Structure 1
Amino acid sequence: MSDGSNSRAADATWGIELTPEHPPERIAELAALAEDDGFDVAFASSHYFNRDPFVTLAAMADATSEIRLGPGVVNPYETHPVKLAAQTATIDEVSGGRAVFGVGAGDRSALSNLGVDRDRPLRRVLETFDVARDLWAGETVTHEGTFTARDASLNLEPADVPVYVGAQGPHMLRMSAKHADGTLINASHPRDLEWAADRIAEGLEERPDERDDQRSADRTGEQNGVPRESAFEALAFASVSVAGEEDAAREAARPPVAFIAASAAEPVLERHGIDREAAGEVSDALERGELGEAFDLVTPAMIDAFCIAGTTDTVADRFESALEHVDGIVVGSPLGPDLEDAVSRASEALERATDR
């Protein structure tokens, strides 16, 4: 975990989330821009109503040469875990060994739209990447647990793919620190990141030594010309909106903040002094499908709590505060009112915050 020092911040991971609400070709162009602007990893988000993340990642791989790539995040309910392992290994193959695997439990409300019951999420996520690791190692797997796989194997070359768990609650955070290669903390505010860092520290205390020994050995030097990072890292998977004008950035933040506020747990709302009734009104409007009304109900306090929004200077200051608690930042949706401009501004803000 980061200790907040300048030298530590200089080593911070720069990540970006690209949402396939646009054609894969445009997302690939944004990934190439992000690579040119110094980002280390690009995630393609996964929502059933957008374009397929793995098709998009293939286009991103073709448009780039160094940046690491992966889904961020897929869930093991919509797609069988063995299939997710195969899809991720394919991205690793076409990218020349640059894949990462962002996996989480998925959004409960979105899964309910598909008639999917999100049962035993922590166990399901853990079993998913445990099985994936065995498959990537070239093993034949039989598994009986939250899902079933019998004599499953992949017709692909063995792969070494780092696993990043999307997490927000205490149990998932601790599990990810104990077993995964990294955590994608679904939070933007230093208070939430500090709380999450404490949960991650608890998980790291129970982390098997052999896991770190193996990952450190695997990531010494470079693999296929791609630098390998340390054994574990915690990244803030933060909603960010950056623009030349503060008001434009904050206005663009309303849609993602509405969804975040609507699903925020009571302790999180209390941590930021957000009225439960106000958040409930946003949630009710979303459930009715009244998106415009829901976005209008987002308060300034909600934007402050759930998004890093503002000019490049403002965002750089917020990044610097966040990096006191994490090893890097994934610049997440909405990015800003102008995507290309936002990628470059986010890079500039990260450069100021990390003194890279």
Structure 2
Amino acid sequence: MIEPTPNGGRLFEPATALRSALWLPVFDELADPVVITRLAVEAEEAGWDGVFLWDHLRWQAPVRQVADPWITLAAIATATERLRLGPMITPLARRRPTKVAKETATLDRLSGGRLTLGVGLGSDRFGAELSKTGEPLNDRRRGQMLDESLEILTAAWSGQSVHHHGEHYVVDDIEFLPRPVQEPGVPVWVGGFPGKVAPMRRAAKYDGFFPVNLEHPDQVAEVAATLTDLRQDATGPYDIAVAFPPGTDLAPYAAAGATWWMAEFPPGVALDQVRGALRDGPPAPTVRRS
């Protein structure tokens, strides 16, 4: 993992292996939670480090079937012992933060402290899931809702009474117990485009960044440098996750500062294709820069 050091505010600790996870769209053949749970068990046996699931209500044609990732993650949590797991990413603006606070704490306890919460703005582009459900389409407003939600979640995971009176949400003196297993709470990875200022600043406040639509390792190096500057006074582990299809040369991205690789599959991918990549196993240990 990435971790600030006491001298100079550096973000990186000595070189270590890039960790690998399956990043699965729970669509069509993968919309069955039993199938996904079996894949997770096989992934753990094959040496993968994590399984993360897309979080969508619908997707554009020809995809027709879409599973709920949270129920599926609960099944994975009970069937595995080591894998890190989570939604990657969940658009918090279309979810109630108080409900998410309970769900994340419960899932973290169920998994024995293996949950990572991926969050972002969400998009209407591929499934019209915002416009078809009356959710806000304005990115700025959804960003404000995302920030408020994260404030509520952080407070809820502390176990202390939450008092929040914001523009979008109210939580009036509620304790969210039991707390998550992980201290001080569930790790949060923020998704966003690497060149955008707002998601980078948001990500710097939490535990990781998931830059989407990467095209070149230099972008990861720029992300790492920016986060180093933004997190000079921060402590604790930090991750940068990158998503690419199996077979991608990951060494340049590890050298640039990535700590996790998400094995990326297209929407509607066939089960046999996922299982083939899974059984090939994660790539040989790739060392990232110090």
TM range (shorter): 0.7 to 0.9
Change in 2 beyond 3 A, CA 1:69/1:89: same
User: What's the counterpart of residue 165 of structure 1?
Assistant: 190
User: What's the counterpart of residue 320 of structure 1?
Assistant: 251
Larger RCO (CA under 8 A, 6+ residues apart): 2
User: What's the counterpart of residue 48 of structure 1?
Assistant: 57
Instruction: State the distance in 2 between where 1:116 and 1:353 align.
Output: 41
Instruction: State the distance in 2 between where 1:145 and 1:208 align.
Output: 29
Aligned-pair identity in percent equals: 26
1:78-112 deviations in Å (ceiling 9; x for gaps)? 21122112111111011111111111111133322
Where 1:323 maps in the other structure, the secondary structure is helix
Change in 2 beyond 3 A, CA 1:158/1:61: closer
CA deviation after TM superposition for structure 1 residue 30, in Å: 1.0
Instruction: State the distance in 2 between where 1:85 and 1:75 align.
Output: 14
User: What's the counterpart of residue 153 of structure 1?
Assistant: 175
Among residues 205, 208, 211, which one is paired with 1:185 in the alignment? 211
User: What's the counterpart of residue 146 of structure 2?
Assistant: 125
User: What's the counterpart of residue 247 of structure 1?
Assistant: none
Structure 2 unpaired stretches of 5+: 4-13, 59-65
Bigger fraction of residues in helix: 1
Q: Find the structure with the greater CA-based Rg.
A: 1
Structure 1 unpaired stretches of 5+: 216-230, 243-314
Counterpart of 1:112, as a letter, is S
Q: Normalized against structure 2, the TM-score is what?
A: 0.78
| Structure 1 consecutive aligned stretches of length 4 or more whose deviation exceeds 4 Å | 352-355
Change in 2 beyond 3 A, CA 1:332/1:147: farther
Change in 2 beyond 3 A, CA 1:172/1:237: farther
CA contact (8 A) 1:173 1:196 kept: no
Counterpart of 1:32, as a letter, is V
Change in 2 beyond 3 A, CA 1:153/1:61: same
Where 1:143 maps in the other structure, the secondary structure is strand
Q: Does residue 207 of the first structure (1) align with residue 231 of the second (2)?
A: yes
Change in 2 beyond 3 A, CA 1:146/1:108: farther
Q: How does 1:1-356 map to 2 (within 5 A)?
A: 8=15, 10-21=16-27, 22-49=31-58, 50-109=66-125, 110-119=129-138, 120=140, 121-151=142-172, 152-160=174-182, 161-168=186-193, 169-189=195-215, 191=216, 193-207=217-231, 209=233, 211-212=234-235, 215=236, 231-238=237-244, 240=245, 242=246, 315-316=247-248, 318-325=249-256, 326-334=258-266, 337=270, 338-345=273-280, 347-348=281-282, 350-351=283-284, 353-354=286-287
Change in 2 beyond 3 A, CA 1:320/1:208: closer
CA deviation after TM superposition for structure 1 residue 354, in Å: 5.0
Instruction: State the distance in 2 between where 1:106 and 1:115 align.
Output: 14
Aligned residue pairs total 253
Q: What value does the CA root-mean-square deviation take over the aligned residues?
A: 2.6
